[in-house]
Structure 1
Amino acid sequence: MKKRIQSFKYAGRGVAKVAATEINFHLHLLAAAAVTALGFYFRLAPLEWAAVLLCFGLVLSAEAMNSAVERIVNFISPGHHEKAGEIKDIAAGAVLLTAAASALVGGIIFFPKIAARLGAATLP
């Protein structure tokens, strides 16, 4: 049991480190906060919340993994190396794909709600 508790402490320390040092993580948190506010405003259904929260977790996890890959590559290859750059680009691309898919999910959930709200506001 002690080992499990310690492993959670290590994981928490990792989350704190990425949250304290990575600007892109901050940007994703800011986006998550904005989407959460929209979710409350539009009173999302439970399944919509589940999709939104899953997207938050996926994007933040991808960003954390990207940060870990960057640190590993920088540790192993401190100088500029073409293959090291490719590895970092691929990891960053994974974040981009995750964020893009999450944006599509957000669009599917929020676009009809926003359109209905704007349409209702312009009717006489």
Structure 2
Amino acid sequence: TLAERALRACEFVVVQDIRMTETARYADLLLPACPFTEYEGTFTNWERRVQRFWQAHPPQGEAKPDWQVFAELWLRMQRQTPPFNTREVAAEIARLVPAFAGCAYEQLGEHGVRL
């Protein structure tokens, strides 16, 4: 497939996933990810509603939430301090993405906020 040819052509492939996938088989570096039940955060659904979800249990093994992996990479690549929790990530998104400007993490509640 086109995706397989593209992955084979890459000099170095990094994959972060919760399980061994076809894409992960091409990885030079495979990072363990957490399923959504192992961290808190937000998602935006098809009706543009930002909704919050809560951690059901702690991460297993060496897995880390996506935001934490990216924060650690950011810290190693830049001198600027990255966001270090879901509230800080949400605040950064609200600051940088106009559609999220009025969306405060604390206001999401159980039903979320429509953008």
Q: Do both proteins adopt the same fold according to a TM-score greater than 0.5, normalized to the shorter chain?
A: no
Q: More strand per residue: 1 or 2?
A: 2
Q: Rg larger in 1 or in 2? A: 1
Q: Which has the higher contact order (CA 8 A, sep 6+)?
A: 1
Tell me the TM-score normalized by structure 2. 0.31
